[in-house]
Amino acid sequence: MSCQQHHNETVFAQIGNQKQESLKAISTPIYLSTSYRHNEIGHGHGYDYTRTGNPTRDVLEEAMAKLESGDKAFATTSGMSAIQLVFSLFASGDHIITCRDVYGGSYRYFEMLEQKQGFQFTYWSGSDERELAEQIKPETKAIFIETPTNPLMTNIDMTAVSRVAKAHNLLFIVDNTVYTPYLQKPIADGADIVIHSATKYLAGHNDVLAGVVVSKGEKLSKELDYIHNSIGSTLSPFDCWLLMRGMKTLPLRMRQHEDNASQVKTYLESQPLVKNVLYPGKGGMLSFLLKDETRVVPFLQALSLFTFAESLGGVESLITYPATQTHAEIPEDVRKSYGLTNELLRLSVGIEHADDLIEDLKQGFAAVE
């Protein structure tokens, strides 16, 4: 039976295990060499220089392409370098439509592209297919979305976006960081390119900075391959190995993240100091709004198990204040206009025992009552 026919859990656990490495190592070796010996001109062994190709990175990229149902994957030095790789496909004057609720780092990069390179960006609500189609103009080249969005946790209908993209010959790009290929496969729903901040759930232990791009189609994959090698944003062999080691347990971790998040959601919905809970229906991420902005700081200070920190997707539970952390680059009036207000807190629910997490939240609320 081929790996494509196996369940997700099996494919994740078996990453690198069936490679025909000369010593038959179960754990993929880390090839640190930057250069490779040639016996004579024109007779190499498939590798020349590690930026262009590395055996350890190849195992990771092949696994990610398979998991995302793509043709080619590219491991990069961070989630933002993955986005940069994709946007290197475009040129000055090109127009891209993106979702309004977008990661603050992406917004910052898009602003830079507008100011310094002449790109055009339009921000879409993420819910109205007709509105999306109406925003297309002759210079439009792509639609870029996160789903679920960050931090408002809104699911965007990828099939609807794909219809619009295909009808107008646009690239459809999806950031799949929050759900991962364990929970959703955007290419199966019509995406051309999938992006990950692999730092998050894929690595899963808050100890690796990495990104991944997965593409569908030979022409697009060749173009990204050329750019990836040219700009040199390739992930180091050791970080590739660490990322693969984390990915082997992603299904186990994600099930625990999701079970815990569901229980935390139920508790928060019963908490009188909480105005609203935003949960996309699966996964380990949720956000909630306090009824009183003045309680944010003392609440954060009262927590002991949830760590007040940026990032998400690790085994440890984190709480983030988007207004001053992940989304600080977005002007206050802009983010407030679409619901990212100063009362909002974001939880990355880890794999600890759910009862302990809920008790920590309880004592946090008790401290500010």
Length of the chain: 369
Active site residue 200: yes
Indicate which residue of 72, 94, 100, 103 is catalytic: 103
Indicate which residue of 19, 36, 47, 51 is catalytic: 51
* Residues 279, 288: Cα–Cα separation, whole Å: 9
Q: 3-state class of 140 per DSSP?
A: strand
- In the chain, the amino acid numbered 259 is D
**Pair of tokens at residue 256:** 């625990």
Side by side, the strands of the sheet bearing 171-175 are: 72-76, 211-215, 193-197, 171-175, 140-146, 95-99, 120-124
Q: 3-state class of 271 per DSSP?
A: coil
**Pair of tokens at residue 248:** 């082997």
Phi, psi angles (nearest 5°) of residue 316: -85, 145
**Pair of tokens at residue 336:** 């407030």
Angle value at C-alpha 147, between 285 and 299, nearest 5 degrees: 30
* Residues 258, 264: Cα–Cα separation, whole Å: 10
Angle value at C-alpha 254, between 251 and 255, nearest 5 degrees: 85
Indicate which residue of 141, 185, 200, 216 is catalytic: 200
Indicate which residue of 175, 192, 239, 360 is catalytic: 175
Torsion on CA atoms 314, 237, 70, 251, rounded to nearest 10: -30
Report whether 201 contacts 180 (CB < 8 A).
yes
Terminal Cα distance for the chain, rounded: 59
Side by side, the strands of the sheet bearing 285-290 are: 274-278, 285-290, 344-348, 318-320, 307-308
**Pair of tokens at residue 201:** 């759930």
* Residues 53, 207: Cα–Cα separation, whole Å: 24
Active site residue 103: yes
* Residues 66, 244: Cα–Cα separation, whole Å: 14
Mind telling me the catalytic residues? 51, 103, 175, 200
